[in-house]
Amino acid sequence: MTKKVNFYTVDLHMSINVNEEKSHTEIKEHLIDIINENAVEQDGFCVLDLSDENQLHQLADIFSYNEEHLFMRASNQKPSGVYLQRNYTTKIPGAVLEGLNENEEGIEQYTYLYFNYVTGILAIVNQLGAPTHRVLNQMFSKYMPDYYLTFTAIPNAEGIQRIYEAKEAKISQIEIEVPVPSAAILEKWFGWDDTDILTVQNGMLKATMKISGVDRQLITNGENETKRIIDCIKGKVSSYNKAKIRAKADGVKTQDYSFFDENFTYPIEIGTYRIVLGKKIYHSASELIEIYKDNLIMAYNENITTLTIISNRQGEKK
């Protein structure tokens, strides 16, 4: 399952003087104090309650926080009535947590965050219905209101510009989503019948053109060729639905750059199951914690050179 990781720079401010910005390196000591003084210790992690009186529960499960980074799972409680449970032998549906008050037990939508104390860069898995990056600030607003955090999304356009200006920039793949060809062209190319063409006209397909070198060869061999390709895509970008390149440069590892995404993102693959004797065995909640942690740290380390250059922060792995 592919998910996107979003990146933000995080800054610390004092509430009594909105113009006074503190060093982001001070965030570490404050977060450690908040967690040590307010979190409830569990077996191998601790839980910090971020709920207020006017909402369903919001919680942070914190797995590591007192060394070089914070890694945690943040969750929003969802009304139990919007979900069903079902017995798949009888096919009979039933209520979830029937008879229990929402204040007693609940179900939650969650995401994972990795925050590096040295760079002040936050990586969060984009998950609909789960807390956003601002959950980090809620830890301050509830438990240390003399301070607050601000977040700046790392812009994607500057990542493309970084490749554009870099030495030895080379492109290995171009992927462009174009308008679906007309019915007449589809009929000519593929010999499709009227039913197939009608499906296309109802918007059920998309057309993607992918260009890559034979046997993993590069498309461009230097910065001048790379600049011309990027300029060509920018000049025609209004004609595309999506466009991205896979590129590398001197000091920058190979990665994808989108011409449409406003902010810098990185895709990760979260496996939900493993195959044992030909059968799917779905990962447990504890197994998924390590899977998310490994992927977030990988996403941070794979992109740290680009991220720190764009955000003007000092780089630090893990």
- Tens-digit pLDDT profile for residues 239-251: 888 888 988 888 7
Please give the Cα distance from 243 to 193 (Å, whole number). 30
Please give the Cα distance from 310 to 178 (Å, whole number). 30
Asked whether the predicted pLDDT for residue 210 surpasses 80, the reply is yes
Q: What does DSSP say about strands 17-22 and 40-41: parallel, antiparallel, or unpaired? A: unpaired
Beginning with the edge strand found earlier in the chain, give each strand of the sheet holding 170-178 in spatial order: 207-212, 170-178, 242-249, 252-258
What angle separates helix 156-165 from helix 223-236, to the nearest 10 degrees? 140
Instruction: Say how many CA atoms lie within 13 Å of 262 toward its Cβ.
Output: 3
Asked whether the predicted pLDDT for residue 9 surpasses 90, the reply is yes
What number is the average pLDDT over the span 174-196?
78
The pLDDT mean for the chain works out to 86
- Tell me which of 12-16, 155-159, 300-304, 309-313 is least confident: 155-159
Q: In Å, how far from its chain's centre is CA 208?
A: 23
Instruction: Look at 20 and 287; give whichever has higher pLDDT.
Output: 287
CB atoms within 10 A of CB 16: 8
Give the pLDDT of residue 71.
98
What number is the average pLDDT over the span 81-89?
82
Give the pLDDT of residue 198.
62
Total-model pTM: 0.75
Asked whether the predicted pLDDT for residue 21 surpasses 80, the reply is no
Please give the Cα distance from 102 to 87 (Å, whole number). 23
pLDDT-based confidence at 215, cuts 50/70/90?
A: confident
Asked whether the predicted pLDDT for residue 177 surpasses 80, the reply is yes
Highest mean pLDDT: which of 48-57, 61-70, 99-108, 171-180? 61-70
- SS3 string, 107-158, reads EEEEEEEEEECCCCEEEEECCCCCCCCCHHHHHHHHHCCCEEEEEEECEHHH
pLDDT-based confidence at 264, cuts 50/70/90?
A: confident
Give the pLDDT of residue 130.
92
